[in-house]
Amino acid sequence: MSERVIALVDQRHPSWALPTPSTPLQLAQLPLDQLQRPLRDLRISVTDRCNFRCSYCMPKEVFDKDYAYLPHSALLSFEEITRTASLFAQRGVQKIRLTGGEPLLRKNLEILIAQLAALRTPEGLPLDLTLTTNGSLLARKAQSLKEAGLQRVTVSLDGLDDAVFRRMNDVDFPVSDVLAGIEAAQAAGMGPIKVNMVVKRGTNDHEIIPMARHFRGTGVVLRFIEYMDVGATNGWRMDEVLPSAQVIERLQAQWPLLALQAAAPGETAERWGYANAQGQHDPALGEIGVISSVTQAFCGDCNRARLSTEGRLYLCLFASQGYDLRPLLREQAASDAHIAATLDAIWRGRSDRYSQRRSELPPEQGSSPARRVEMSYIGG
């Protein structure tokens, strides 16, 4: 096995210049990108900090006690985030996911959630408001998050074996506390709750069946994610990727599964339902999902944009640069119409499809040589 080299690079890269909005402003039609994909999903990172040191995301070798996080003054305020989200909602966004780092580390997050929960689409509908968390603070915050207007949570959990989980989060955090957080979210009435398991071959793939057995029939949707080549600090290697097809094979050896329709356009997860004795999907047994971000590209209908914690807009999870919106948001003369037109121009120029292009790279390379933004910086 070759020696692993972890690149010590700054995750915050220079930004692209903001495009000049068209004149006169054309906001009557919702924007489509260069591949005719609409804008439907906005993921907002509210902090670049996390209390876990998972090797595939924020390895301790890089994110140590001397790592320079963003100062609070650099972060978008809750009012700036809400203003931006409102403009995105006017341009077609229907779903907002709060991410991090670990978003529950952001002080008074419930205030932001309440502000976002009050937003409406042009049709007067509320946005689908959800949050991704490692679950470490969820037990104590689930009720207040629900009361603020949060509808759903997705919890990252990479195994039930306590020793494996403590080793993967690399801060000796017990799995029981994450499970307690999931139960608290269910008790608060959030749902459907999703649990994401990043599968690394040889590290935690033996936890696939125990995880499925634990959550089967509980109402929790378990999703298995291929270990991704996001950023430059996680030492990614293709031989540590367990293809989703093999995950499904292992599960089908235990329980009959049926392929289900996608829940929504642009859905990243391939859905599989547990079948009953008659060979039909039994909703009481629930479903699982697989996200094949490496072996099966789903760029074709990707409708997501990502806003970093200090206001940079990224159009792809694997992007190397974003568009810095913060100066525009803090410029008193910048009207909502001007910012909305700028967002339109950015989206209309989008042509990102990294996962589809990955197959064109040399086999020994495995992923793009370009410096890419870290997943811990813009969320998954």
Q: Where are the domains of the chain?
A: 41-378
Q: Say how far residue 326 (Cα) sits from the centre of its chain.
A: 21
- DSSP H or E segment with residue 213: helix 208-215
Neighbours of 270 (CB within 10 A): 20
Average pLDDT over residues 281-286: 96
Order of strands, sheet of 257-259, starting from the edge strand that comes earlier in the sequence = 257-259, 270-274, 287-291, 221-226, 194-199, 152-156, 128-133, 95-99, 41-45, 304-307, 312-314, 323-324
Average pLDDT over residues 342-358: 83
Q: Say how far residue 270 (Cα) sits from the centre of its chain.
A: 16
CATH, domain 41-378, list 2.60.120.10, 4.10.490.10, 3.40.1190.10, 3.20.20.70: 3.20.20.70
**DSSP secondary structure letter of residue 200:** B
Q: What is the pLDDT of residue 4?
A: 39
Q: What is the CA radius of gyration of the chain?
A: 20
* DSSP β-ladder status, 41-45 and 257-259: unpaired
- At 355, list the tokens: 């996962």
Q: Does 224 score more than 50 pLDDT?
A: yes
Q: What is the pLDDT of residue 356?
A: 61
Neighbours of 371 (CB within 10 A): 15
Q: What band does 268 get if pLDDT is binned at 50, 70 and 90? A: confident
Rounded Cα–Cα distance for residues 185 and 179 (Å): 10
Q: What is the pLDDT of residue 264?
A: 78
CA angle (47 as vertex; 42, 50 as ends), nearest 5: 120
| Chain segment 332-349, per-residue pLDDT in tens | 889 999 999 999 999 999
Name beta bridge partners: 313.
307, 323
| Chain segment 362-376, per-residue pLDDT in tens | 544 444 445 567 766
Does this model's pTM top 0.85? My answer is: yes
* Buried/exposed 272-290: b ≥16 CB within 10 Å, e otherwise: bbbbeeeeebbeeebbbbb
Rounded Cα–Cα distance for residues 154 and 156 (Å): 7
Instruction: Please list the alpha-helical segments (H only) found in 22-137.
Output: 78-90, 109-117
More confident residue, 49 or 26: 49
